[in-house]
Structures are given as structure tokens and as C-alpha cells.
Amino acid sequence: MIKIKNIPKNILLLTLIGCSIFKSADELFLDAERKRNNGEPKESIIILKQLISKFTEHEKASEAQYLIAEIYYRDLRDFSKSIEEYEKLKNNFPNSSKVPFALFMQGFIYANMLSDYDFAKTYYSEFLEEYSNHELAESVSFELKYLGLDIKEIPTLKHLTK
């Protein structure tokens, strides 16, 4: 009897890929979410990329691209890669309802994770130009107003430092 431990990870990944050939976009998306929730973000990304390549026109494809960016940001803490993946969403799925959120996140990551305020300003300004009525517009304006300041220097947030 072969133990799972003894099977190389590459073979397990090939099996995972092979088993997903006959799955729907919804099933693949659920599989990817399960992998992520089980602490397997890289495996989740593999499944999401399969979904995108197999179901390019399906509504789940843009959601999968957004989730890839989120996994790089939140789970893997790879901020540069996350920004790239949000950019792919904007370029490959320009009509997705997730595009404004991707644009916001690019500015947010540049401002708050990478301390690159020039790039943050560029993305935030683009957001306000294109999505001035979006639910995040007020947050973007706030971010722009206090870009680069310490929390102690922001009057409305000063109380959080006491």
C-alpha cells in the first residue's frame, strides 16, 4: 500500500489538475476557496488560474482573478505580486464590478504597505477620476488627503493612538 506522504507533491498537483478537467467554473471556484481556507493558498491559486484559462468568458473568471490578487495580498503577503494580479483584473476584465476595488487596493498597498506615496497618489487619483460615485470614493479621498502622514498626525484618527 502506498502512503500519501510518499507521493511527491508534483504528482499530487498533477492529480489535482487532472481531476479538475471536468469541473464547472463554480466547482473550481469552490475548490479554490476550500484550498485557501485549509491553508493552501498556492494550491488555490493553481485552481483559480485553471478556472480563468478554461472559462475566460465566465463571470467566475474575473472573481477568480480578483481572488488571486487577494491571496497574494492577504495570505502570502507578496504585495508586488498582488498589485500585478489586480492589474491583470483591470486589463483582462475591464467590465468587472471588481475593477474599482482592484484600483483601490493598488493605491492602498502602495500607500500603506510599500510607502510609495507617488504611486499611491496615481492610483487613488485614477480611482476618483473613473469612480467618483463609488462606495469607496470617500475612503480614497481620505487616503489622498492624509497620504504619508502618521496616524498621530490625522485629527480624526488621533484618538486611536492614546
Mean pLDDT (the chain) is: 90
pTM of the shown model: 0.83
CA-to-CA distance for 36 and 15, rounded, in angstroms?
18
The pLDDT value recorded for residue 157 is: 82
What CATH number has the domain spanning 19-96?
1.25.40
Q: How far apart are CA 14 and CA 154, in angstroms?
A: 51
Helix or strand holding residue 124 (H, E):
helix 117-130
For the stretch 99-158, pLDDT in tens is 999 999 999 999 999 999 999 999 999 999 999 999 999 999 999 999 998 888 888 887
- Residue pLDDT, tens place only, 69-89: 999 999 999 999 999 999 999
> Domain ranges in the chain?
19-96, 98-162
Largest CA distance in the chain: 66
**Exposure of 83 in the CB half-sphere (CA atoms within 13 A):** 15
